Structure 1
Amino acid sequence: MSRPQDPQRPLFPFGNPFRRMFPKGSNLSPKLVDLLNTFEVTLAERLKKLKPADSEHVLSLSWMRYAMESLCAIHTDIKTLITALELPVCDWDDKWIDVYLDNSVKLLDICIAFSSEISRLNQSHLFLQCALHNLEGSSKQLTRARLSLDGWRQHISSKNPRLENCFAIMDNLAETIDLPKIKNSPKGKVLMRAMYGVKVVTLFISSIFAAAFSGSMKKLMDLHVPETLSWADDFTDLQALVNNEIRNIFSSGRITALKELEGVDTSVKKLYPIVQDGHVETEVLQYSTSDLRLGTERFSQGLDLLAKEVDSFFQIVLTGRDALLCNLRVGGNVTNSVQPNDSIGGQSVR
């Protein structure tokens, strides 16, 4: 995790992790090269599409939803690769399994923290709905509206303790991002290199969400990847654009990086002195109320759509983990259970 005094601190001070993963003289078959190339080309394309045409779109709920949607697709891509590799679980090194299972637990915990924060933000909608209802009534109801706006402010400024746990998990993932050394397994080398890419992008997007939800750019990470990777330039460009924009947002003094939440807060600030004053101009009140209503609807709808994507990601990680554990128990082939798209649209975990 980057620190305020050193925002560009490298996360990989020990050099290129692939020097151990792909030592000189290790040859991959044309089929394995093709599989790895297909995965990495697809990863690069997904990173290109994630780059916003306008930096102003960074940390809008619609962009965050697309970022999570892209992450779901990338994790589905790794399932597709595992299937194509035809690598039975019995051939998996214990270290690979340990890394996969440990990382999957951490990702599930991160998803739970993000879902918790989205739910907390969504609860603020009740305060706004109550305020909007009373803004159309008598002077007595305007007092109630002001109290609802006060409640909204207090709710939004409160902290979510689950996010703190999420930050510690992300730090641990960053420290262990260098995957284990692979010996005498060309398929294992392909799998671990692909998983490295998935882990980097997952950590990058998670750090963006953490910064947005926490209201602090100290949660941003600056990840450095080997230049030899075909997707390195696309990742570096995307990371630089997004992280710089987020830092600019917080440097400007805004209370939140979320665009839609900032819009609602601006409407509340304009409306509050109007309802606080005993003399209310009807036209001014109606205009401000309409502005708040539109912002509230946009914010609530954006949160609902984002929540669905976070849940989809949770399901993808969970089913991939369950499939591996199932195959470990029965001694079967991982490709029999880990199929792409098997968890999208699935039922929520009980």
Structure 2
Amino acid sequence: MSKPQEPHRPFFHFGNPFRAISPKGSKLSSRLVFLLATFEDSLAQKLTKLTPKSDNDVFSFLWMGLAMKLLCEIHNDVKTLIGDLELPVSDWGEKWLDEYLDISVKLLDICNDFSSDLSQLNQGHLILRCALHNLASTSSNQFVPARCSLDAWNQHISSRTSRVENRSPIMDHLEELLDLPKVKNSPKGKVLMQVMYGVKVATLFICSVFAYAFSGSSKRLLSIHVPDTYRWAQAFTELQKNVNMGIKINHSSGRFTALRVLDAVDERVKKLHSMIQENIDGGMKVEECQNLIVDLRSEAEKLTQGVDHLTKQVDEFFHVVLSGRDALLSNLRSSETVFGQGMEGLSTRQP
């Protein structure tokens, strides 16, 4: 971003926009260049904002919520740009339409999978609440049901399966759709396809990171190379490098899960379970146990708040994708109706 103390900086601060973004063999009007440059600069700023400041940020619910929020903004930006392009749906190539509708329905499926994984985490919190309720009593009789609840937590978490991992072909298919469809004799179409490439890269990358966070499987991780001709390429490369570094550290640390708060909760559950067993055997340190209960309650609350916030962000993204899909289908139906009426009127005037 340009700084106030740097006057006379050109508006397009990434260099000559015509050389940088005009597809080979095509001529874009100054208006189309401006629209494309504005979108790509905005995308670069969003990707920069998402770049984690430290390794601990990558799989925090705060970072994941920001990632989903920015994804909503990027998809809303696309809807705005499509309107600014004034490109009628009737001018969209059949391949463009098929690809857009295919991608949108798969993104809706992925949102449902993310929501299912988050719902499993909420179920685990209900088990924790039961254990903490029992532990709130000073009576030693409550330790046995509390231990049972902690056993139930361990069983629930260890048996947790990610729907994203089970539906991996969806992610594979989205990766295949990164290639740009060919566009001929349509400057607006070329701009649209270049914009859609940026959207697909950002969406696929964020979804792959979420899939890793929920499943713990590195099979869904991607390494996407973006040509430096795109104005947002450097910001994306930096984001991908920092996130991958966080993933590498997560693997080497031997954490139970990629989700940091969930890992913190699980660590305290195991310690508390061991202390309760000591109490039953007659050797627990009461004060140490009480401190751990307070600590677990705090981490469990963070887990609940994080899951609730991220669930809302995933729901919002679902509705953004759905509204964009519905708007396109509505415009397509309107175009077909107008075209049909025009042809009907033409036929009545035929001799």
Q: TM-score, normalised by structure 2?
A: 0.86
1:303 maps to 307
**Structure 2: which amino acid aligns with 1:80?**
T
Aligned structure 1 segments of 4 or more residues deviating by more than 4 angstroms:
none
Q: Does 1:104 align with 2:77?
A: no
| Alignment match, 2:183 | 182
Residue 119 of structure 1 deviates from its aligned partner by 0.6
**Residues 217 and 250 in structure 1, CA contact (< 8 A), matched pair in contact too:** no
5+ residue gaps in structure 1? 1-20, 334-350
Q: Map residues 159-238 of structure 1 onto 2, 5 A cutoff.
A: 159-160=160-161, 162-238=163-239
In the alignment, what sits opposite 2:277? 276
Output one character per residue of 1:106-154: Cα deviation in whole Å (capped at 9) or x when no partner: 1001100001000111110111001101112322210111111111111
Q: Secondary structure at the match of 1:56?
A: helix
Give the corresponding residue for 1:348: none
Q: Deviations over 1:140-186 (max 9, x none)?
A: 21011111111111111223362234321011111121021001110
- The equivalent of 2:333 in structure 1 is 329
Q: Which structure has greater helix proportion?
A: 2
Change (3 A) 1:128 1:191: same
Number of the residue aligned with 1:81: 81
CA contact under 8 A between 1:124 and 1:156: conserved in structure 2?
A: yes
Instruction: Say whether 1:95 aligns with 2:56.
Output: no
Find the residue that maps to 2:102 and give its secondary structure: helix
Higher relative contact order (CA 8 A, sep 6+): 1
In structure 2, do the counterparts of structure 1 residues 213 and 195 end up closer, same or farther at CA, with 3 Å as the change threshold? same
| Residue type at the aligned position of 1:308 | K
Greater displacement, 262-271 / 278-287 = 278-287
Aligned positions of 1:133-144 closer than 5 A: 133-137=133-137, 138-144=139-145
- The one-letter code of the counterpart of 1:275 is I
Q: What percentage of residue pairs aligned between the two structures are identical?
A: 58
- Report the TM-score, using the length of structure 1 for normalisation: 0.87
Q: Distance in 2 between the 1:161 and 1:296 partners? A: 21
The answer to whether the Cα contact below 8 Å between 1:167 and 1:210 also exists between their aligned partners in 2 is no
* Aligned residue in 2 for 1:264: 265
Q: Which amino acid aligns with 2:76?
A: T
Contact 2:125 2:304 in 1 (8 A): yes
CA-to-aligned-CA distance 1:199-236 (integer Å, 9 cap, x gap): 00000000000000001223211111111111101101
Q: 1:96/1:127 Cα in 2 relative to 1: closer, same or farther (>3 Å)?
A: same
Shift of 1:22: 6.4
Measure how far apart 1:267 and its partner are.
1.1
What is the aligned partner in structure 2 of residue 289 from structure 1? 293
CA distance in structure 2 between the aligned counterparts of 1:172 and 1:81, rounded to whole angstroms? 26
Give the corresponding residue for 1:240: 241
RMSD between aligned residues: 1.5
| Greater gyration radius | 2
Q: Which one-letter code corresponds to 1:33 in the other structure?
A: V
The alignment partner of 2:240 has SS state of: helix
Partner Cα separation in structure 2 for residue 176 and residue 320 of structure 1: 18
Are the counterparts in 1 of residues 117 and 162 from structure 2 also a CA contact under 8 Å?
no
User: Would the aligned equivalents of 1:41 and 1:231 in 2 still touch at CA under 8 Å?
Assistant: yes
